[in-house]
Chain A
Amino acid sequence: MNGHGARRRATGTASAVQITFDGEPLTAVDTDTVASALIAAGHRVFTIDSHDGSPRGGFCFVGRCSDCLMVIDGQPGTMACITPVRDGMRVETQHGRGHWGREGQS
């Protein structure tokens, strides 16, 4: 558990979207990006750096910095910050450069 204090303040008129994060169900809203859904749910580690194994969690949130690359629906290197959530989407922490089409990475 991250133990940090990020939280969603309100959902307004947005409707719920169900995704999974590392195999666990997670409820997002339809206006979310993958990054905002994870942050709101208390998850802030998106990627494990391939060089030193350090955790990364998104820095710019506009598709520039590559600190939010995740495996989304089996495709590695997908920017969580500019990818909208979709019902049934499978989101996985990316380790290093990730692997194509492989679920549940080691």
Chain B
Amino acid sequence: MNVAVIGAGPAGMIAAGMLARRGQSVTLIDEQTGSGGHLRYDRYPVGSDRHDSDSWLTELRGAVDSSNAVVLLSAIVWAAFRVGDGFELAVNHAGAERTIVADHLVVATGTTDLALIVPGATLPGVMTSRAARILLNRHDVLPGQRLVVVGAGVEAERLTSDLASAGAEVSAVATEKIESIAGSRGVESVHLTGDRTVTADCVVVARGEAPDLQLAGMLEAPRTYDSSVEGWRLAVGADLPGLSVIGGALLGAAGPAHVVKATIDTVERIAPAGPESGEIGLDITGAIIRWEAVQG
């Protein structure tokens, strides 16, 4: 069976590797220049309570590379259609248009950061937390010198501390305190409730994330508006013939173990009882992801 896996983050890479080793003909597609998804810019130091992203990425790339999965990078899936019992994907691969035909689609598109809706939020210098992480961790570029981090969760706290360690002056501000952002050609100041103004050259929005369901939506996957994610999530128990949604794209529709559990469920559904069954154990404790090879 031809399986197209869209999104080469952890969930997509696990699914692609396992399906390919079970004899399926797998194409793993990602718009970025490298596989790994958020592992390419999220950094947890070795020995911290979080999984070390570099070694996990190395492990996942090894699992995909040693399989027969074909990896298409710099490949943007810009439309998807049901054709007969299968699917056709319109893909722009490194600037050239091509069509990919698949019997089964695995949607592993991950999440999108929530935006900040206040006047001035479109000014250059306002960016998402993952944008700041990409600049800092992939490119060693500090996105500003006087930053305001907007949000209150774990990611906002981590980012505030990471940016401060990198040499920036950082204020953490709760979302509801931001009234507007001002500047002519980019961020210059942030106006807060209580008639306060903070000078800033960068505003980082770390309010959380919503599942990225644009592609699943194009294929008419049933979705529900969920105010807790400020967006659409997959409807729980949705029946999706020929289509699997896994990983972060399931946010709000599955439990905390969604990355791994949904991946394994999907692989079992498409290619049951393959030779790899039981060889890989994966454990999730809250947001902490660990990947362990089980011996024997």
Chain A contact residues, CB within 8 Å of chain B: 2-12, 31-33, 36, 39-40, 44-46, 49, 54-64, 67, 81-82, 84
- Which of A12, A33, A64, A67 interacts with B112 by CB under 8 Å? A64
Main secondary structure of the interface of B (DSSP, over half): loop
Question: Quick check: is B193 within 8 A (CB to CB) of the other chain?
Answer: no
Q: Are A45 and B140 in contact (CB under 8 A)?
A: no
From the candidates B31, B131, B167, name the one contacting A58 in the complex (CB within 8 A): B131
User: B: which residues have CB within 8 A of A?
Assistant: 31-33, 74, 76, 112-113, 115, 122-128, 130-131, 134-135, 138-146, 166-168, 185-187, 201-202, 212
CB pair A36–B135 under 8 Å, yes or no, is: yes
- A58 pairs with B134, CB closer than 8 A: no
Q: Given the complex of chains A and B, what is the CA–CA distance between A67 and B168 in angstroms?
A: 25
Say yes or no: A39 contacts B143, CB within 8 Å. yes
**What is the CB-to-nearest-CB distance from B246 to chain A, in angstroms, rounded to a whole number?**
19
By beta carbon, the residue of chain A nearest B146 is A5
The reply to whether B122 and A54 contact each other, CB–CB distance below 8 Å, is yes
Identify the 7 closest CB pairs spanning chains A and B, nearest first: A5-B145, A57-B124, A61-B131, A4-B201, A36-B139, A44-B124, A40-B141
Determine whether the beta carbon of B131 is less than 8 Å from that of A4. Answer: no
Whether B140 contacts A59 by the Cβ 8 Å rule is no
Structural contact, A6 and B201, CB atoms closer than 8 A: yes
**CB atoms of B186 and A60 under 8 A apart:** no
Closest to B40 in A: A62
Residues of A within 8 A of B74 (CB): 82
Question: Could you write out 14 A-B pairs with CB less than 8 Å apart?
Answer: A2-B124, A4-B125, A5-B145, A6-B141, A31-B139, A36-B141, A40-B139, A54-B122, A56-B124, A57-B186, A60-B113, A60-B131, A62-B134, A64-B112
Query: In the complex, what residue of chain A is closest to B168 when comparing beta carbons?
Result: A5
Contacts of A39 in B (CB 8 A): 135, 141, 143
Query: What distance in Å separates the Cβ of B97 from its nearest Cβ neighbour in chain A?
Result: 14
Contact B145 A4 (CB under 8 A): yes
Alpha-carbon separation in the docked complex, A55 to B126 (Å): 12
Given A4-B145, A36-B138, residue A67 in contact with residue B122 (CB < 8 A): yes
Partner of B141, one of A3, A9, A57, A58: A9
